[in-house]
Homo-oligomer: A and B are copies of this chain.
Amino acid sequence: MSHNSFGHLFRFTTFGESHGPALGCVVDGTPPGIALTEEDLQADLNRRRPGQSRFTTQRQEPDQVKILSGVFEGKTTGTSIGLLIENVDQRSKDYGDIKDKFRPGHADYTYDAKYGFRDYRGGGRSSARETAMRVAAGGIGKKILGDSIVIRGALVQMGDRHINRDNWDWAHVHDNPFFCPDSEAVPEFEGYLDDIRKTGSSIGAVIEVVASGVPAGWGAPVYGKLDQDLAAAMMSINAVKGVEIGAGFESACLTGEENADEMRMDGDSVAFGSNNAGGVLGGISSGQDVVCRFAVKPTSSILTPRDTVDRNGNNTEVSTKGRHDPCVGIRAVPIGEAMMACVLADHMLRHRAQCG
Determine if A276 is an interface residue (Cβ-Cβ < 8 Å).
yes
Given known contacts A26-B13, A80-B13, A265-B309, A113 and B253 CB-to-CB distance under 8 angstroms: no
Q: Which residues of chain B are within 8 angstroms of A302 by Cβ–Cβ distance?
A: 255-257, 260
Q: Which residues of chain B are within 8 angstroms of A216 by Cβ–Cβ distance?
A: 109-110, 113-114
Bound state CA distance, A270 and B218, in angstroms? 37
The 3 residue pairs across chains A and B that have the minimum distance between CB atoms: A107-B282, A242-B244, A3-B224
Given known contacts A14-B222, A26-B13, A223-B2, A114 and B300 CB-to-CB distance under 8 angstroms: no
Q: Which residues of chain B are within 8 angstroms of A356 by Cβ–Cβ distance?
A: 31, 352
Contact call B284/A206, Cβ cutoff below 8 A? no
Contact call A204/B283, Cβ cutoff below 8 A? no
Query: Which one, B257, B278, B299, contacts A201 given CB within 8 A?
Result: B257
Contact call B8/A82, Cβ cutoff below 8 A? no
A contact residues, total (Cβ < 8 Å):
155
Bound state CA distance, A202 and B259, in angstroms? 10
Scan A41-83; emit 1 where CB is below 8 A from any B CB, else 0.
Answer: 0000000000000000000000000101110110101111110
Contact call B264/A68, Cβ cutoff below 8 A? no
Contact call B262/A206, Cβ cutoff below 8 A? no
Determine if A159 is an interface residue (Cβ-Cβ < 8 Å).
yes
Bound state CA distance, A242 and B313, in angstroms? 38
Query: Which one, B126, B232, B258, B278, contacts A282 given CB within 8 A?
Result: B126
Scan A302-315; emit 1 where CB is below 8 A from any B CB, else 0.
Answer: 10101111000111
Query: Which one, B84, B235, B256, contacts A225 given CB within 8 A?
Result: B235
